[in-house]
Copies of this chain bind each other. A is one copy, B any other.
Amino acid sequence: MKISEGVEWGLHSAVLLAVLPRGTALPTARLAEYHGVPAAYLAKHLQAMSRAGILEASQGPKGGYRLARPAGEITALDVIEAIDGTEPAFVCTEIRRRGPTAMPAREYRLPCSIHALMNRADAAWRAELASTTIADFSVQMLEHASPKAVAKGAQWLQEVLA
């Protein structure tokens, strides 16, 4: 079990887009440059976020991506599900119904206990991830980062948007 690396890229990209001045956008190439990742592959994940309604894309010169709604209304879970899919990690294949002790289907009204626990664990995971928004990340990162780093980032943004 491993989470796609694209999830990390998508989250960081969303945080960067959250601090963009109103009315501006960042194209894939700039987002990739800022994070030091391959642009062509990052594009794939940004498209997924766009399809999921998290990002909005605009074409042509000065175009690019921007958040489709306020950063406070985008949870980390939203981004993860957009990129990694919404299916739970555990899929019950109902092996209890197979083999020599199999019974008619109507005997299996209640969900498998193992499946139920997996669902509870999955719900706990998602609940934790839904408790933090992109806006929260922005605040935390600006608070924790050194003033120098913040200044460097701000300067980069200014140059790119010029």
Interface residues of A (CB under 8 A from B): 1-5, 7-9, 11-12, 15, 33-37, 76, 84-85, 87, 89-93, 95-96, 98-103, 107, 110, 113-114, 117-118, 120-122, 124-129, 132, 136-137, 140-141, 144-146, 148-149, 152-153, 156
If A37-B98, A113-B141, A153-B101 touch, whether A93 touches B129 (CB-CB below 8 Å) is no
Q: List 24 A-B contacts (CB under 8 A).
A: A1-B2, A1-B3, A1-B4, A1-B84, A3-B91, A11-B114, A33-B100, A34-B99, A35-B95, A36-B95, A36-B98, A37-B98, A89-B89, A101-B156, A107-B149, A110-B144, A113-B137, A113-B144, A114-B137, A117-B132, A121-B128, A121-B129, A124-B125, A125-B125
Q: What 9 A-B pairs are tightest by C-beta distance, nearest first?
A: A36-B98, A36-B99, A121-B128, A113-B140, A125-B125, A124-B124, A124-B128, A3-B89, A3-B90
- Whether the Cβ atoms of B121 and A34 lie closer than 8 Å is no
Question: How many chain copies does the complex carry?
Answer: 2
A100 and B42 alpha carbons, distance in the complex (Å): 17
Residues of B within 8 A of A146 (CB): 103, 107
Please give the distance in Å from A71's CB to the nearest CB on chain B: 13
- Whether the Cβ atoms of A12 and B95 lie closer than 8 Å is yes
Please give the distance in Å from A121's CB to the nearest CB on chain B: 4
Query: Of all chain B residues, which has the CB nearest A97?
Result: B36
